[in-house]
Every structure is written in C-alpha cells, then in structure tokens.
C-alpha cells in the first residue's frame, strides 16, 4: 500500500485554500466544502474538508524539503509565522513548525535517509 492522500479539517475554506496556495501548492479541486492540492514534489496529494464543529484538532502534516532553511526564509518573506525555526531534533530530523488558519500543525522538515532508515529501525510483520 502507498499512502498518498490525507485530508485536513478546516473551518474557513477560503482562508485555508489561500494559505496553502501561498505556500506554493497547486490547488486541483475547488468546492465550497472540499479542496485538493498536488504535492510540490512527488505525486501525493492532500485535501481540505470543511468541519464546522470547532472541535480542537490534533492533526499534524509533514512536508519534506531538502533545502529546509531556505524554504522557511522564503515563507517568512511571504508573511508566514513559524512557531519553531528549523531545529535539529533528537530523532535526527530537522524541523520547523507553523500552523494553518484552522490550527492544523504543519511540520516542514528534512530527514533524508533517516526518514526510512533511522539507526533504530525495526522490521516487524505478522
């Protein structure tokens, strides 16, 4: 199986779609209640779906980019505010954190080889 799609809950579709387009994503579906975007690299997609219940969400979406520090600087020039600047984490990923208008956490990161092959990798199957 290949994970290639995730849907984030949003309260304001117009604000959310504008946010992700400003980040550089291409919007490929546009309705009042649902939107989908192409990944900048690769063939994965992600979508937004209106969720008006105002329940706090604990969703985190990760976007990997090799030139992470440069990407963060470019987004800051566009007015994006980061909760965490690029930081080397103990799990061997470099991560920056920001939030979309609906409060979904976005981690921009670079993991390189450590994403699929960390030093503590295991291979457990049934």
39 near 86, Cβ under 8 Å?
A: no
Instruction: Please give the DSSP secondary-structure letter assigned to residue 25.
Output: P
Counting beta carbons within 10 angstroms of the beta carbon of residue 57, is it exposed (0 to 12), middle (13 to 18) or buried (19 or more)? middle
17: enclosing H helix or E strand? helix 13-23
pTM score, two decimals?
0.88
Domain presence at residue 64: yes
Number of domain units in the chain: 1
Q: Is residue 71 part of a domain?
A: yes
The answer to whether residue 9 is domain-embedded is: yes
In terms of residue numbers, what domain contains 85? 5-115
Residue found by looking up tokens 């984490």 in the block? 89
Please check whether residue 126 lies inside any domain of the structure: no
Q: Where are the alpha helices (DSSP H) in the chain?
A: 13-23, 68-77
Where residue 1 falls among pLDDT bands split at 50, 70, 90?
A: low
Q: What pLDDT is stored for residue 92 in this prediction?
A: 96
CATH number at residue 99: 3.10.180.10
Q: Is residue 96 part of a domain?
A: yes
- pLDDT for residue 61: 94
Residue 55 placed within a domain: yes
Q: Mean of the per-residue pLDDT values for the chain?
A: 93
In a domain, 124, yes or no: no
Any domain includes 123:
no
């Amino acid at each position: 199986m290949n994970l290639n799609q995730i849907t984030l809950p949003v309260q304001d579709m117009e604000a959310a779609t504008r946010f992700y387009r400003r980040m550089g994503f291409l919007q490929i579906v546009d309705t009042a209640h649902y939107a989908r975007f192409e990944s900048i690299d690769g063939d994965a997609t992600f979508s937004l779906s209106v969720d008006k219940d105002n329940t706090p969400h604990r969703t985190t979406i990760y976007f990997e980019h090799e030139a992470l520090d440069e990407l963060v600087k470019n987004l800051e020039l566009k007015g994006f505010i980061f909760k965490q600047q690029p930081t080397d984490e103990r799990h061997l990923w470099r991560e920056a954190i920001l939030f979309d208008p609906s409060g979904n956490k976005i981690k921009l990161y670079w993991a390189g080889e450590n994403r699929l092959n960390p030093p503590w990798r295991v291979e457990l199957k049934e």
